[in-house]
Structure 1
Amino acid sequence: MTAGPDDAYRRGTVLGLTMAEIFILLLFLILLAFLALAQSWDRKRELETAAAQELREDLVAMEEWRPVTEAFETPDEVVTLKRDKERAERAAERHRRQNEALRDVLAKEDGTAAEAVRVAQEAERRAEDAMEELRVFHAKGHNPPCWYRVVPRADGDGTREKPYYSFNLGVFDDAVVIRRAATPPGGADDNGGSFAHEAERLGFGAIPYG
């Protein structure tokens, strides 16, 4: 049986549909390729933009430091400035890490961290008190009086501590005579205690005077 015109038409139709499907598939593959290429271009453009931004930031930083570096006359001073800048940056980074660690501790252990902060603050307060005492002792100078009253300086420049004497001393050729001096009223400004209480605590009345 020979193929008629209808058979040839059907074969042509099937062949045409097959070619159309292949063409559509090729178009789809080309679109996928263009999409992948566009994504690659976008990624490359993002990287180039980030690199350009970083370069601009570096240039801005260099411009900020330019007046300072140009003010120096020798390379040694420039190296010193760079070293100081790096040291400051390291210190800032170290403080940043410490602050982050402290925040983590506070977030995880509120009670323990709060107690640690309280203890640290108390230690800082005691250190400040000790520094204040050292400042007062330094201002008093060497061998300051234990009992004193604050009086104006003769030159009018501030005040000074005028001593109270606890004993009267007489030196003779063959003897030394000690007499108890009158206990002054009030008390010194250092601790607020009275002179009479201190004399009693030190046992001045039990000393064999003569």
Structure 2
Amino acid sequence: MASRFFVAPLFLFCFVGHAFGGVLFSSLPPTLLVQASPKQGTVLNAGKDVLTVQWGLNGTQQGGLDSKYEKVKITLCYAPISQEDRAWRKTVDDLSKDKTCQFEIVVRPYSGNKKEESFDWTIERDVPTATYFVRAYALDSAGKQVAYGQTTDSHKTTNLFGIEGITGRHVSLDIAAACFSAFSVVSLFGFFLVEKRKAKKTTGK
């Protein structure tokens, strides 16, 4: 009898966890076709180069599957080679915990009338150096993922491209640091002169 009381709450906990958990990537149909301008092996520069993304509904899919699509979200995603030994970029099937696609490129209303849409994205300055691919999610009215498409294959080994992040100090930061250093030296010298004058007055008394 006691085991029954234990099993019931456990079953309820699992049911609630599943009901309120995130969307599983493995459950999404690949109904979107996605293409990006960089060719395999291309390296782009953050804060400078433009990435063009094109997307549309996969023509081989049966009609009606896009009836729940409200928006399309385009994201920049880490390739497996840039996820190794980096837990903060880890791929998780539960999309509410997944860290693969951390950079939003654009969110657009889904238009079933157009066969293909495109967007030109200037790579943001905070994108780090890594290897990437592009993924699109179809979102329903609640903002949940209901389908996807990506520029690479299911193993994420094809059509990958690199981005070179901004490294080193910016010129303006160097100027600010130099000014601050100069101010510190002048202040220290002024403090030394004041203390020296005070010492002379004390000696004169």
Larger Rg: 1
More helix by share: 1
Give the TM-score normalised by structure 2. Answer: 0.20
Which fold has the larger relative contact order, with Cα–Cα distance below 8 Å and residues 6 or more apart in sequence? 2
TM-score for the superposition, normalised by structure 1: 0.19
Structure showing the higher strand proportion among its residues? 2
